[in-house]
Structure 1
Amino acid sequence: MQQRRWLHTKQLKNMIQVQRRWLLVLRGWYAKHSLAKLILTLVVSVIVVRSLPYLAPIRAVYLVQDQQAIEFTDRNGLPLGTVLTRDQEHTVTVPLKQVSPHFIQAIVAAEDRRFYQHGALDGWAIGRAMLEALQARQIVSGASTITMQLARMLEPSPRTLPEKLKEIWLSWRLTAGMSKDEILQAYINRLPMGGNIYGVEAAARIYFGIPASDLNVAQASVLAAIPNDPNHLNPYDHWEALKRRQTYVLDRMTQDRYLSRAEADRAWQEELSLQRRQQGIVAAPHFLFWLADQRSTHPAQVQTTIDLPLQQFAEAQVQQMIQALAPHNVHHAAALVLDNRSGDVLAYVGSPDYFADAQKGRNDGVQALRQPGSTLKPFLYELALERRVIRPNTILADIPTRYAIPGAQLYTPSDYSETFQGPVRVRVALANSLNVPAVRVLEKVSVQAFLDRLHQLGFTHLTQTADHYGLGLALGGGEVSLWELARAYLVLANQGQPVALRGMREAEGRRQEAEGRKQKAKGRRQAERKTQNAKLLIPYAPSSIPHASSSTWSLITDMLNDPHARAKAFGVDSLLSLPFPAAVKTGTSSDFRDTWTIGFTRDYTVAVWVGNFDGAPMRQVSGITGAAPLWNRIMLHLHEQREPSAFPAPSGLVKRPICALSGARPTPACPSVVQEYFEPQALGEYDRQPDPFYQAVATSKGQREYRLKLPPEYNEWLAMQPLIPTATDGLRILSPRNGDVFLLEPGATDSAQRLQFKLASPSNQTVEWLLNGQPLATQTPGSIFWVPKPGRWTLQVKTGDRSDRVSFEVQMAETRSTRKGFSVAQ
């Protein structure tokens, strides 16, 4: 290398001395003749310009491509595939001597037949191109040499005159520093070969399954045809067009006497079989490219955390679900499966088919930024409970609410159903994903505090200010990735403790660290960089949350695990209800552009997104109909062999009965009683505070009865409710409602479990109550209290020729994986 530098320096000095002599000879002419001055100026300018590239030559060593193929295996050593380099591009470099002579002849004949005879530019080709352009009055053919094409690959730029001059300058520098073979080697290793495939070696392996050294004439001529238009000559999608271009390549090879006519005809007629599109990747292509992109060094083998059978199952389910939802304009989905204890990535599906370029398959739905809908609400309620802005028994008003936004119209949040539920418990508001209560809670917590918490949870893409997001942050304003959501729910699954996600097996990470330490002798800076890159488990992990209490995180888990709490919106036996404990939350962004379902058991976290990469809205597809079916299938598959254990009860909290409507200690007037958690220090207030909704009043007969009186803030909502028919319109049972499901806690006293049967409007006539056909004794015609028993019941009321009937069910709480207590499933 030093000898070559010395020779180059000596040649440069000799050239400069010759130029000086010429300048001395021409100086006399310059003083006598003006024409000579002009000619001399031009000659000097040309000499200077052509000499400059030799002052800044580009050497072959500068263009070395150090990417190497990486063989990936799953957690058990099963092959996942080979990625030829990072950045989602398939490429691998080979020396020129390891490329078939047939390909070298074919590419030279097709792209630059006089490559070895001219310099950086081909004057003959330029003259021919200009003559053809003048005759046709348009550009007919180009004059770019292989050297110029290499320059364009190194520095892509628009086809403008200034950029063309830059391209010529770079070509001169390449010629000044490299031999013809070195230029050709750099060129064929960078050739665009269709899709994300670059270089002849990668193309030979992917399309034909052989190294570039084994290409025959037919294969070589096909590959040499692709760089002319890689997008429209892709072998998988445009075979006929590629065969036509192959004819051109074979004709040029015949003209240059690389082949006889008969050999060219045989090559064209030879049947070539292409490998499948999988391009050497068995499973998890998005994950493999993503993992490779996180490293600046490329070890030959990497053992990942992926579970191959689970990965293949998830990929198949994604494809099946997209086929089923296609009539609803749904074309893409992504799924992520994590191990809760280790943080291992067990399955990673970025799209239905990575290799379907026409369907945008290379887009990675796990890392793509989308609006999260209601999936952030659990973290808002946890923060509010942690800061005691709300308590588990707090009643939130789901009523028409308006917020004045400076410089904008009034902000009026509404629910997915576009209805309002009135007074609701925190548990019900979260489980049913009610929007107005969430916005009210965010207003109390403050947008900045919630944004800070989301940053602690690892939502790094929420980079705008709190004022930018506003109260809409509670409903999914902003963009996050499925990766970030899954990582945050992993914190929730671990009761507030952050867990770093891992893409490689821990042993692999330690091995790479050891290799990094061994390199210290070669230079401390290089070794530190290698060690840092080798430590890759995940580029970012959630930070620890100050003053985190496991009880509030466990309480949110308990709410998300409660099928009866979400029954109002989803029903008791929806796809979210599994035969084992599982906490889950859905989300739907505006205009049905994104649907999410994210949930976890004690063992696994599963996150699913369904939508369209181009943002096109789906047709009436929500989280429960879009993403939930896929989430359900993966969860059931994960627990086929062993059901997960139950979630731990919130530590330090105790249960007490509350009135479902008011959240206070129940009175005899409360028609529905449920169990809810309390902090021990809040029990004193629970015992002392009277029910704010059911107020005791004295009747004209001196008796005391309870009347429901909601606060004034509910007046507008009450006015929106349909009128209850009076007795003259017919009898109507107000409570229970038809289809209600009640939970019965074993061992509780009868007084805490009474169920009120109530008419909408009492009648002065005698009323007969029948339960499953059996008469019930009653002292007042308008209501009756009944001690519930498990079973399916039909309640009927009669007076004269009028009657009403409802059916309801009472279940033992322990028969379902849910909280204990007696409640109406709302």
Structure 2
Amino acid sequence: MRTLRTLAKRRSAIWRRYRRSPWSIGLTLVIICLVVRSLPYLAPIHAAALVQEQQAIAFTDRNGLPLGTVLTRDQEHTVTVPLDQVSTAFKHAIIAAEDGRFYQHGALDGRAIVRAFLEAVQARQLVSGASTITMQLARMLEPSPRKLPGKVKEIWTSWRLTAGMNKDEILQAYINRLPMGGNVYGIEAAARIYFGIPASDLNVAQASLLAGLPNDPTRLNPYDRWQALKRRQTYVLDRMVQDRYLSRAAADRAFQEALSLQPRQQGIIAAPHFLFWLADQRSSHPAAVQTTLDRPLQQFVEAQVQQVIQALAPHNVHHAAALVLDNHSGDVLAYVGSPNYFADAQSGRNDGVQALRQPGSTLKPFLYELALEQQVIRPNTVLADVPTRYAIPGAKLYTPSDYSETFQGPVRVRVALANSLNVPAVRVLEKVSVKAFLDRLHQLGFTHLTQTPDYYGLGLALGGGEVSLWELARAYLALANRGEAIGVRREERGERGEEVDFGVSAQSNDVRSQKSGVRSQESAVETNPKFRIFPSGTLREQNSKLSLPLSPLTSSSTSSLITDMLSDAHARAKAFGVNSLLSLPFPTAVKTGTSSDFRDTWTVGFSTDYTVAVWVGNFDGQPMQQVSGVTGAAPLWNRIMLHLHEHREPIAFPPPMGLVKRPICALSGARPTPGCPSVVQEYFALGDLSEYDRQPDPFYQAVVGSKGNREYRLKLPPEYNEWLAMQPLTPTAGELRILSPRNGDVFLLEAGASPDSAQQLQFRLANSSTQTTKWRLNGQTLTTPTPDSVFWRPKPGNWTLEVKRGDVSDRVTFEVQVAERRSTRKGFSIAQ
């Protein structure tokens, strides 16, 4: 035991002397460093792990004409090349500019680190960095904040790269990922885009210029900052001379050499939005893709978009989008997302075809179609376009109206739809139900209407949601095909319907746009909660698409009936006139839409051969100046339609099957009587003819005249009383009728209003008279300065208003409530 204790004491003493020894401390540190430095060899990064699979895709139109080459997906131009296919001049230039001792050091350059440290101490600030090409590649692969933890991570990744790759492999991965300005990455893409040549053909002047770009790709963009880039080229050439890649004379000649850049189109001839969007949707990456586009038509539509926007610029209109579909095949023939994709300052990369906007009145045809199918209305149904108020939970009251703030009184379904009247549409939606209409819109492919029916409410009939031009065009394509939802094809392969695409996910946190009123491209933004902007490169195809059956969604006769209404120039004459831009020399069905505050204008229409959808507005949601669907989008729609049918007029729309025409009174929608002043033709289902023959006219009623003869007098139902009070109509002599308020009206009293506030209600009669008129409110007599009108300060409660003149009297009940202070969603259609 004593011996063991002695040995233990000796070992403890030896260990204490070892810990105090400088050599022991140094050896420990060396061992730790060797262990740490050896760890990357346990997790090396090999060249095979850095292979960039996204390669260039050459797109052509339906006839084989080139459209352009998209060098990768995700709206970024890049293509990888082996190191031996890069000019020696560029390899020398990039090494001289970024890491002169690249082939002499490992992952880190100790000499550069010491130099940078001494310069920082002397200048008391960071003067130059010590990042090597390997460290820069590590930062490209795993971006991290430039702080201490990020720098440690960068060094660790650099060690892993050197553990698994040789210098040439590192340099190849590096130059294929270099940021070269805008959305251009890699030397091959930069050489093609800026100079129109492969990277293997770059000379010293071109190579030294491009080698300066990665230092600051934004501030050295060759299209916008040429002089700054030339100054950076001077630095690169000086470094090449210093490293003995060039003589001074050769460097001077390279700097003086005149260089010309390719146009900004970056290798794309036509349809850049479509090409990037299509490349992004693909799961495979073939070398060539033949699309369904028609290049001459595409270029025509692009030119027309630019011309129309130039004409509308004084009205604060800066953007437009257009889509052309073939009704027979479902082919996409033209796709224009903005006036100029390459105009970065004007947010040109934003894709107006896929952007989510408020559709205004363009959804109304599908509402009326559903209502006709459900038989809640008939083609001859008369709807009341009169002041109407709806109680909404929280908001208390919703009062739809058109931009003109006028009302048409009794209108037939055809007239209400063709003139895009708002109140009749809301009345129809109330009968159909918001849920049923929302379900129908989902069936038609409006995948972005993801809120509940209560969220949209009755405003859904007027555009109180967000849809894309792509979705609208597909829905109208189904209408053009009499309810058959055919597949939309984008590529020339397979049979019709193979390229069906009824759902594209739009992720609001993946929005990228430009600087004109929107944040920079790197930030995910939603510039306006009502206007989400999605550029082509940020949309992703969902793994589970909305499956839409390739079978009729609606009855053929109902779709044909809606088409007939939308093609009736006389039916829409009240709002648009007979000879508007919507009226073409051949049959077309068309609908316009304008969202609130003139933020969006739409025109979507079709012939028997083509469907054309157009949006005009501003990507940042700024309102236009008094530009509606017929003045904003319709001119562009008109030009495209005329061009499409320049050489061959389309055939007429087939009449609705199973329906027959009968004469009706234009005002009442009933079988005409001798008293009806205007008669028109309307379609009827065969099963409705017996009712048509039997039902009397509800408006023009037969009475016995003063001379015993039979006369017809117009007597509208009570719901028209308020509207009648606005019209220059003379009621029947001796008739006593309260026009305002109407029976059952609910009025809102402003919250917090004092009893002496200026809010007043006017009680009005239908006609004037010299006879004594007595007014009573809840049994209390009212003092009236004039017999035909009374002004009353409203108070909360239920009220009964009575009026009596001789033996004739009338009575209405109404309610006054205190309004809640609550903001309501805006964005409803203003008609047209």
**TM-score, reference length from structure 1:** 0.79
1:603 is aligned to 609
Q: Which whole-Å deviations, capped at 9, do the CAs of 1:114-154 have from their partners, x for residues lacking one?
A: 22223223333334334444444443333322122212222
1:569 aligned residue: 575
Residue 430 (structure 1) shift: 0.8
Q: Counterpart of 1:353?
A: 340
Residue of structure 1 in register with 2:156 after alignment: 169
Q: 1:361 to 1:704 in 2, by over 3 A?
A: same
**Deviation (angstroms), 1:655:** 0.9
**Percent identity over the alignment?**
82
Say if 2:455 is the partner of 1:468.
yes
Partner of 2:19: 33
2:298 counterpart residue number? 311
SS at match of 2:129: coil
Q: Following the alignment from structure 1 to structure 2, what is the Cα–Cα distance between the partners of residues 397 and 40?
A: 96
**Aligned 8 A contact 1:414 1:436 in 2:** yes
Which residue, 185, 198, 205 being the options, matches 2:192? 205
Q: 2:674 aligns with which of 646, 668, 685?
A: 668
Partner-residue secondary structure (3-state), 2:305: helix
Alignment of 1:502-541 (within 5 A): 502-506=489-493
The aligned residue for residue 126 of structure 2 is 139
Per the alignment, residue 113 of structure 1 pairs with 100
How far does residue 540 in structure 1 lie from its aligned partner after superposition? 6.0
Deviates more, 1:31-40 or 1:618-627: 31-40
Give the conservation status (yes or no) of the 8 Å contact 1:456–1:544.
no
**1: CA distance, partners of 2:643 / 2:667:** 39
Q: Please say if 1:87 is aligned against 2:93.
A: no
- The residue number in structure 2 matching 1:214 is 201
Matched, 1:399 2:386: yes
**1:557 is aligned to 2:563:** yes
Shift of 1:722: 5.1
Counterpart selection for 2:592 from 583, 586, 590? 586
Report if aligned partners of 2:292, 2:490 keep a CA contact under 8 Å in 1: yes
- Identify if the C-alpha distance between structure 1 residues 54 and 721 changes in structure 2 by more than 3 Å, giving closer, same or farther: farther
Residue 252 of structure 1, aligned match among 239, 244, 251: 239
Distance in 2 between the 1:661 and 1:499 partners? 38
2:19 counterpart letter in structure 1: H
The 1:702/1:139 distance shift into structure 2, 3 A limit, reads farther
Residue in 1 aligned with 2:312? 325
The match for 2:91 among 101, 104, 118 is 104
* One-letter amino acid of the structure 2 residue matched with residue 380 of structure 1: L
C-alpha spacing 1:712/1:163, structure 2 compared with 1 (3 Å): farther
2:464 is aligned to 477
Q: Are 2:382 and 2:668, in contact at CA under 8 Å, matched by a contact in 1?
A: yes
Task: Note closer, same or farther for the CA distance 1:511–1:556 as it changes in structure 2 (3 Å cut).
Answer: closer
CA distance change for structure 1 residues 158 and 481 in 2, over 3 Å: closer, same or farther? farther
Specify whether residues 41 and 594 from structure 1 end up closer, same or farther in structure 2 by C-alpha distance, changes over 3 A only: farther
Q: Summarize the Cα distance change of 1:209–1:669 in structure 2 as closer, same or farther, 3 Å threshold.
A: same
Relative distance call for 1:222 and 1:715 in structure 2 (3 A) is same
Supply the distance in 2 between the matched residues of 1:571 and 1:384 (Cα, whole angstroms). Answer: 27
Whose relative contact order is higher, 1 or 2, with alpha carbons under 8 Å and at least 6 apart?
2
Paired with 1:559 and 1:127, the residues of 2 have a C-alpha distance of 81
Q: Shift of residue 235 of structure 1? A: 1.2
Distance 1:140 1:724 in 2: 90
Structure 2: distance between partners of 1:508 and 1:396 = 44
Against the structure 1 CA distance between its residues 697 and 138, is the aligned structure 2 distance closer, same or farther, given a 3 Å change threshold? farther
Say which SS state the counterpart of residue 197 (structure 1) adopts: coil
Distance 2:402 2:20 in 1: 87
| RMSD of aligned Cα (Å) | 2.8
What secondary structure is seen at the aligned counterpart in 1 of 2:306? helix
Q: How does 1:706-717 map to 2 (within 5 A)?
A: 706-717=712-723
Matched-pair contact (CA < 8 Å) for 2:486–2:497: no
Matching residue of 2:479: 492
Q: Which residue of 2 aligns with 1:183?
A: 170
Q: CA deviation at 1:161?
A: 3.5
1:202 deviates by: 0.9
1:447-468 superposed Cα distances (whole Å, 9 cap, x missing partner): 1111111111111111222122
Relative to structure 1, the CA distance from residue 187 to residue 679 in structure 2 (aligned partners, 3 Å threshold; closer, same or farther) is: same
* SS of the residue 1:408 aligns to: coil
Indicate the residue corresponding to 2:214 in structure 1: 227
The alpha carbon displacement at 1:166 in A equals 2.5
Structure 2 counterpart of 1:796: none
Tell me if structure 2 keeps the 8 A contact 1:456–1:545: no
Task: State the partner residue of 1:636.
Answer: 642
Contact 2:487–2:550 (Cα < 8 Å) also in 1: no
Cα distance in 1 for partners of 2:615, 2:494 equals 31
Q: 2: distance between equivalents of 1:562 and 1:402?
A: 30
Give the partner amino acid of 1:251: D
In terms of fraction of residues, the more helix-rich structure is 1
Contact 1:302 1:508 in 2 (8 A): no
Q: What's the CA shift for 1:285?
A: 1.4
Once residues 695 and 726 of structure 1 are traced to their aligned partners in structure 2, the CA distance between those partners, rounded to angstroms, is 13
**C-alpha deviation, 1:539, in angstroms:** 6.8
Aligned counterparts of 2:353 and 2:629: Cα–Cα separation in 1: 17
Q: Pairwise mapping of residues 755-770 of structure 1 onto structure 2 (< 5 A)?
A: none
Aligned-residue offset at 1:698 = 2.2
CA contact (8 A) 2:672 2:697 kept: yes
Query: What do residues 408-440 of structure 1 show as CA deviations (whole Å, max 9, x unaligned)?
Result: 352221113222211111111111111111111
**Secondary structure at the residue paired with 1:125?**
helix
Amino acid at match of 1:646: A
CA contact (8 A) 1:588 1:623 kept: yes
Q: Is the 8 A contact 1:598 1:608 kept in 2?
A: yes
Q: Distance in 2 between matches of 1:292 and 1:596?
A: 27
One-letter identity of the residue aligned with 2:677: P
C-alpha contact (below 8 Å) 1:330/1:610 kept by paired residues: yes
- Structure 2 CA distance for partners of 1:691 and 1:508, relative to 1, 3 Å: closer
Work out the CA distance in 2 between the residues paired with 1:697 and 1:27: 130
1:174-205 CA deviation, whole Å, 9 max, x = no partner?
22211111111001001111122111011111
How big is the shift at 1:267? 0.7
Instruction: State how 1:55-94 maps to structure 2 within 5 Å.
Output: 55-94=42-81
Closer, same or farther: CA 680–308 of 1 in aligned 2, 3 Å: same
CA distance in 2, matches of 1:137, 1:419: 74
1:171 is paired with a residue of what secondary structure? helix
Name whichever of 448-457 and 146-155 sits farther off.
Answer: 146-155
User: Post-superposition shift, 1:506?
Assistant: 2.5
> Match of 2:449, as an amino acid?
L
Partners of 2:265 and 2:712 lie apart in 1 by 71
Aligned to 1:19: none
Kept in 2: contact 1:500–1:541 (CA 8 A): no
**Unmatched tracts of structure 1, length 5 or more:** 1-24, 513-534, 728-760, 762-825
Q: What is the CA distance between 1:243 and its match in structure 2?
A: 0.8
Show the counterpart of 1:152. Answer: 139
Whole-Å Cα distance in 2 between the matches of residues 371 and 510 of structure 1?
A: 28
Q: 1:184 to 1:353 in 2, by over 3 A?
A: same
Pairing 1:721–2:727 present = yes
Specify the SS of the correspondent of 2:212. helix
Aligned length: 682
CA distance in 2, matches of 1:221, 1:376: 56
Q: After TM superposition, give the deviation of residue 86 of structure 1 in Å.
A: 1.8
How far apart, CA to CA, are the structure 2 residues paired with 1:423 and 1:318? 39
Deviation per CA, 1:243-289, whole angstroms, max 9, x where unpaired? 11111111111121211211111111100011112222221111112
Note if contact 2:483-2:553 (Cα within 8 Å) is conserved in structure 1: no
Amino acid at match of 2:209: V
More displaced stretch, 230-239 vs 381-390: 230-239
Partner of 1:695: 701
